[in-house]
Structure 1
């Protein structure tokens, strides 16, 4: 399908980037990649957006993949059709199984087999990740803000709101109230399964919501994933606003705000630690029992992405100190080499850097020079493909994982668009 607003924006960007042909070509490849290769518009009016080289639709990835097209929805009916259809399909999936992270286009049983308990036919994988509840709400809110289209608040969407709130409430007291478990017999990596009979490591009540897995699909070391809970704080505020203004449901709004405040209190009470070099910073994970994991992961939500998520501004002192920690050798997943320096992930061992993290570093930076340097790094490390990859080796960019990873391509496009002002100023000054 041809999206007129996308073609128009691409043409505009090619003119603006004509003095940086490598950046222009990379943007031209990456920005429309999701639309050109991963979108299926279905006969029931919904949209299936798969992740790229895996034929399943992740709630997280699909939301992130279409993010750069949201500003175009107000003027382009075809973009609205894509986005509203995706929102509806996400809602229907969450009603099928709100604990699942990835789904099939049809109920054909595709995906991981042998996991305990067994998954349904619609489900590709049933790893509970708190961000999987957050991304659909965030996408819906941003779509509604861009279009003021209230037809998107279907019966399934409204029921999704209630399901999300109930599940978050349950997982505030995971070991007491939840029946969720996940085990993968003979996993390739220990992070593919949860210990203690699939229940995860011990936690105590903090007000935060438990998450079995990170947005990398790796098991949490400790059950309270701080950046995912930050994302939940933001989207619960968004849900409350939609409940009030679009649905006229004061009770739903009140429930969301009460839950939001409990989670935020938990973050501030249990998620902040004193670091010997950086002072008070946010931890990545905690269990409420006094244990904290100090690191950051490339996948979003991350601590690096706090301003992007909308939890705190980029100039917030606690975020600034946390950012300095993340972008240093104190973070065990910060790597550097001859071609790049940035955040990686235990999901890809071997000191590999993720373009998603480099783009997020740029999207959360207030330094024009840092943004320009990151754009240069991203375009110089595609190994001649002009596409982003899942990860690459900072000393040998031709060593990379996942040549077709639409989320990374979309986030790069979003970064370029966000940096347009800096690029324009740099061109004038030169």
Structure 2
């Protein structure tokens, strides 16, 4: 199916004109506003920030993957994005966001190793995972093996090296990050790492360390559980690629062993017993028995676990966790007169994120719940007809980021699931 065929179907399936128009606008948001092609590479900005996040750019095109078989131009665009992501990670696997040009005047003053083309060097585990997920999904849709050259094999080794090294961050890692709060005094304290940029000490668990969350906020405790779950999933993808394409049994064994260590760590250190909800996943831990019990709107999140493919929706521990994160026991769950859902320490109290509302729908098995969430998002755009980063649960005219493509893409994905059964 091509996108134009989908839109013809939308004219019939989506009877609500407001929903129909918002779906089309959000579906095309990235293609119409955020894409720059340079040779065989594709550069996709996140929206109102003129930089490309590895995470956001992957999520921004996820809903297009169903249509690339019948659209060679779209297929080429996504292939070009994967190539750009590979180049960027090989340039600096600790960076989370990049530029299409080598030099720019940055807003922030960061103490870390900055290279040309790097916009921000916050090490986020999910930034290594998303390009693998996109590659695997692209390959599943197209069966195009041309991506899997020597450079991609080098890319695989690079991310494995970092993931393994960061299993013992306190002992082995040289990565540091400090943002000069004195020069940008209005920034949140979560913009920088404590302990002179090293983060707090961690104990070996089998899991791998991350400096920052998918929200770009510093971790409280640096074993982020949903990030490690996502890492476990993409290691399965890499195992399949290495086995079927590169036919490297040694590398396959290395990947299997690493996945086993991470899974073991999640099971042993990432599960807590809540007095109300029982056995559930923590959001972060340090391996010393300290935990953060919360969920954040950004993905990977605890809410998104079945969406990412780590466990089934019916899994008891996930169900307990889901009940927790969609309750006031989660310190970032808010309810108001217009909406209710999950927010983030990245934004103000009482502000919830359309990304989390869409993810709640995408991880639901209840069609009514999905459509209620679609209506909630649709009726809280501040009159713009597109999704924002976050909005006030009592007043949708108060929102952050007028142009945020990831939220638009995820909303379109939810509509595809709820109304088109895709």
Partner of 1:22: 18
Q: 1:107-146 maps to which residues of 2 (within 5 A)? A: 107-146=102-141
| Secondary structure of the corresponding residue to residue 152 of structure 1 | coil
For 2:34, which of 19, 35, 38 is the aligned residue?
A: 38
What is the RMSD of the two structures over their aligned residues, measured on CA atoms?
A: 1.3
CA contact (8 A) 1:335 1:341 kept: yes
Q: Which moved more, 1:137-146 or 1:252-261?
A: 252-261
Measured after TM superposition, the shift of residue 71 of structure 1 is 1.1
Task: Tell me if structure 1 keeps the 8 A contact 2:343–2:349.
Answer: no
Would you say 1:5 and 2:2 are equivalent positions? yes
Question: 1:86 aligned to 62, 81, 93, which one?
Answer: 81
User: What is the alpha-carbon distance in structure 1 between the residues aligned to residue 75 and residue 123 of structure 2?
Assistant: 29
8 Å contact 1:110–1:123 — kept in the other structure? no
Q: Are the equivalent residues in 2 in contact too, given 1:110–1:124 (CA < 8 A)?
A: no
Residue 112 (structure 1) shift: 4.7
What does residue 312 of structure 2 align with?
313
Q: CA deviation at 1:377?
A: 0.4
Name whichever of 247-256 and 406-415 sits farther off: 247-256
Q: Higher mean Cα deviation, 138-147 or 152-161?
A: 152-161
1:96 to 91, 112, 121: 91
Q: Distance in 2 between matches of 1:413 and 1:387?
A: 10
TM-score, scaled to structure 2: 0.97
User: What is the CA-CA distance between 1:113 and the residue it aligns to?
Assistant: 4.4
Q: Residues 145 and 422 of structure 1: is their aligned pair in 2 closer, same or farther, counting only changes over 3 Å? A: closer
- Contact 2:205–2:269 under 8 Å retained in 1: yes
**How many angstroms does 1:422 deviate by?**
6.7
Residue in 1 aligned with 2:287? 288
Q: Distance in 1 between matches of 2:7 and 2:149?
A: 33
Equivalent runs, 1:359-370 vs 2, <5 Å = 359-370=358-369
**Quick check: 1:52–1:406 contact (8 Å CA) kept in 2?**
yes
Q: Contact 1:112–1:124 (CA<8 Å) still a contact in 2?
A: no
Contact in 2 for aligned 1:111/1:123 (Cα 8 Å): no
Which range is displaced more, 66-75 or 211-220? 66-75
Provide the C-alpha distance between the structure 2 equivalents of 1:216 and 1:12, rounded to a whole number of angstroms. 35
- Would the aligned equivalents of 2:353 and 2:388 in 1 still touch at CA under 8 Å? yes
The CA distance in 2 between the partners of 1:340 and 1:273, in whole Å, is: 30
Residue 421 (structure 1) shift: 5.0
CA contact (8 A) 2:169 2:209 kept: yes
More divergent stretch after superposition (391-400 vs 71-80): 71-80
**Structure 1 residue aligned with 2:60:** 65
CA contact (8 A) 2:13 2:420 kept: no
Q: Displacement of 1:367 after TM fit?
A: 1.1
Shift of residue 248, structure 1, vs aligned partner: 1.6
> By how many angstroms is 1:152 displaced?
1.5
- Structure 2 residue aligned with 1:106, among 66, 87, 101? 101
The one of 156, 164, 172 equivalent to 2:167 is 172
Residue number in structure 1 paired with 2:375: 376
Q: Distance in 2 between matches of 1:222 and 1:280?
A: 20
Q: Give, in angstroms, the shift of residue 307 of structure 1.
A: 0.5
Give the match's secondary structure for 2:334.
strand
Q: Does 1:419 align with 2:418?
A: yes
Q: Determine the structure 2 residue equivalent to 1:385.
A: 384
Higher mean Cα deviation, 121-130 or 147-156? 147-156
Which has the larger displacement, 152-161 or 202-211?
Answer: 152-161
Aligned residue for 1:195, secondary structure, equals: coil
Q: Does 1:326 align with 2:325?
A: yes
- 1:110 CA drift (Å): 4.6
The answer to whether residue 37 in structure 2 is matched with residue 76 in structure 1 is no
Counterpart secondary structure, 1:124: strand
> What secondary structure, in the 3-state scheme, does the structure 2 residue paired with 1:52 have?
coil
Runs (4+) off by over 4 Å? none
Q: Deviations over 1:189-215 (max 9, x none)?
A: 110000001000111000000000000
Q: 1:283 deviation in Å?
A: 0.2
- What's 1:215 paired with? 214
Structure 1: stretches of 5+ with no match in the other structure: 424-430
CA displacement 1:152-180 (0-9 Å, x = unmatched): 11332221100000000000000101100
Residue aligned with 1:362, SS: helix
